[in-house]
Structure 1
């Protein structure tokens, strides 16, 4: 398990928020930037007080990851933090940023996973990419091809933003079919946003991990449909594929600003799931499953170390 403070045994991860954000910046969310280190520190303290041990930050390249702050925040809070490399949808970037990366994003991803973000910062522990609404555009296909190349070189898991929870099969057809990424190296995010039990089961049968993240979003069918979706998967034998996360993406959603924030996952949200599904199963979702999903054999050498050196001086954003 590659954290911002170094590698740890997967069993040491503890209770894990498998998809969240301490720092995030996007032109799609003007005025709601997560860019305050002290607010991030307060959120981690609240998460720790609620029983949390680890946070996977899915913020990828170019979206204000706060890479330089993450090691200090991990040390001070006692919470393991895993950082991400990768790229989100094109809409989250200025055109010149994407043009600069067009010829070699795989090299950037490998470098950030094995050498460090910006060459000297903490190493990333996962790759984040994104699909579109029920499909994949050219940017998504290009980014996912680079992610597959970096995954083969490092063993890192690929986390996928599914737009409104849709397009899981298109992602799996590309990543696991055409690009030959092992299904257990793929995490499909935001499945709670589309409570399609048939699609959920198909993704689980394919062997991917399923992330149900972002509780208490009034404009998604999240909290009130979640027990039904998770129960259906567990009853079908896929309880070992389920991950839970908070996905805090705006300053107003932080608990320190009156929103649900990171602690909500382990407070009211977990209480409801415990009642509906049983405490043992929910504990599995929060501990054993993320320990497997985010683990990797980091001792293996990259297939093409030269690519990593080419992008070593890339910005850390």
Structure 2
């Protein structure tokens, strides 16, 4: 049977996919993070020049947002402006990008018909996903679902269409920020749906997720019969360093040398057969209010390069995870093109074999998205 990849415009052959970003959001709204910020971010009444929650993103407020208050701005957390996002996707295409895996699912999902229109206008293949985002964002109807309920819901969006449309999901996604009993049910449902539909899945590892949480997810997936070669562990960037110790601002200030590569966890997952995604290129924000540093793109790339040098290029993919306005080009960020403007040229500059770059950007995405 000939394999195909399901895009928002219908099926394509794997060899049509081309250069692919494997972790993006095009039409999405992550406004639920404002509730998380209320619990973790201190009051801002003593901070000079804060952005007000209801005002549009402005250049004079970008520094404030980037230093840890990005979720306070309702405008910043909304990527629902189709004209804006069409222009951002077009930039990706002009830079040489051919396809985007769109990972917005219930909890943050935008208009899937809009994804179809953007794909038609830009010429970029877009693969839509089914699944669920972090539990705090779940619509009420998902809260009491069983493993079978979760699996049936996803299978329906794969076979019939997303939310009553004719746009069919071509990928599975779950984005836990912690592993509650509900989240564990969803992990198992992802595994079963992958087995039943043949689709690959992406599992997000949020800021609160530990390496042991990742190991638990891997164990559950395998117990449920999922093929590790059909599963991507996202946000591995931070987890190829000694996380979380060296990401704590006070620790870093007192001992800068403590921040170093730590590949043990990554290799565990790779040796089990999973694919790892380095997918936050262009994320220059930090969480200063809670004393948490982000990575730099140079550190992300260093982790990626270390694994390429050890022969793992057939199990690696990349992306930018554009999920707020401040990450788009038109609001001061790098947009989807960061992997084309920086990552690939940097790999070539250090002599990375073209076959490895091709694996990461073309061959692995085509293998994962085809069924």
| Cα distance change of structure 1 residues 100 and 172 upon mapping to structure 2, 3 Å threshold | closer
Q: TM-score, normalised by structure 1?
A: 0.87
Distance in 2 (alpha carbons) for counterparts of 1:100 and 1:174: 20
Match of 1:138 in 2: 181
Distance apart, 1:227 and its partner CA? 3.3
Q: 1:244 aligns with which of 307, 311, 318?
A: 318
Q: Does 2:174 correspond to 1:99?
A: no
Distance in 2 (alpha carbons) for counterparts of 1:139 and 1:101: 8
Mapping of 1:161-310 within 5 angstroms?
161-164=204-207, 166-167=210-211, 168-176=214-222, 178-195=223-240, 196-218=262-284, 219=286, 220-278=294-352, 280=354, 281-296=356-371
Unaligned runs of 5+ in 2: 34-70, 241-261, 287-293
Distance apart, 1:231 and its partner CA? 2.7
Distance in 2 (alpha carbons) for counterparts of 1:263 and 1:154: 31
Tell me the SS of whatever aligns to 1:217: coil
Tell me the SS of whatever aligns to 2:21: strand
| Cα distance change of structure 1 residues 276 and 66 upon mapping to structure 2, 3 Å threshold | farther
Match of 1:15 in 2: 19
Distance apart, 1:120 and its partner CA? 2.7
String of CA shifts for 1:13-67, please: whole Å, max 9, x gaps: 0000111010111311451211111111001110001000000001112423321
Q: Is the 2:89–2:124 Cα contact (8 Å) retained in structure 1?
A: yes
Q: Is the 1:132–1:140 Cα contact (8 Å) retained in structure 2?
A: no
Tell me the SS of whatever aligns to 1:65: coil
Distance in 2 (alpha carbons) for counterparts of 1:122 and 1:36: 20
What is the RMSD of the two structures over their aligned residues, measured on CA atoms? 1.8
| Cα distance change of structure 1 residues 169 and 49 upon mapping to structure 2, 3 Å threshold | same
| Cα distance change of structure 1 residues 100 and 198 upon mapping to structure 2, 3 Å threshold | closer
Q: Is the 2:135–2:177 Cα contact (8 Å) retained in structure 1?
A: no
Distance apart, 1:156 and its partner CA? 0.7
| Cα distance change of structure 1 residues 34 and 160 upon mapping to structure 2, 3 Å threshold | same
Distance apart, 1:163 and its partner CA? 1.6
Match of 2:165 in 1: 120
Which is further off, 231-240 or 155-164?
Answer: 231-240
Tell me the SS of whatever aligns to 2:276: strand
Match of 2:39 in 1: none
Q: Does 2:198 correspond to 1:155?
A: yes
Which is further off, 167-176 or 6-15?
Answer: 167-176
Distance in 2 (alpha carbons) for counterparts of 1:208 and 1:68: 32
Q: 1:48 aligns with which of 83, 93, 96?
A: 93
Distance in 2 (alpha carbons) for counterparts of 1:4 and 1:236: 36
Q: 2:84 aligns with which of 24, 32, 39?
A: 39
Tell me the SS of whatever aligns to 2:370: coil
Q: 2:109 aligns with which of 41, 64, 67?
A: 64
Distance apart, 1:222 and its partner CA? 4.2
Match of 2:45 in 1: none
Distance apart, 1:216 and its partner CA? 2.6
Distance in 2 (alpha carbons) for counterparts of 1:228 and 1:252: 24
| Cα distance change of structure 1 residues 154 and 188 upon mapping to structure 2, 3 Å threshold | same
Tell me the SS of whatever aligns to 2:306: helix
Match of 1:3 in 2: 7
Distance in 1 (alpha carbons) for counterparts of 2:157 and 2:231: 19
Q: Is the 1:90–1:98 Cα contact (8 Å) retained in structure 2?
A: no
Tell me the SS of whatever aligns to 2:199: coil
Distance in 2 (alpha carbons) for counterparts of 1:268 and 1:274: 10
Distance apart, 1:187 and its partner CA? 0.4
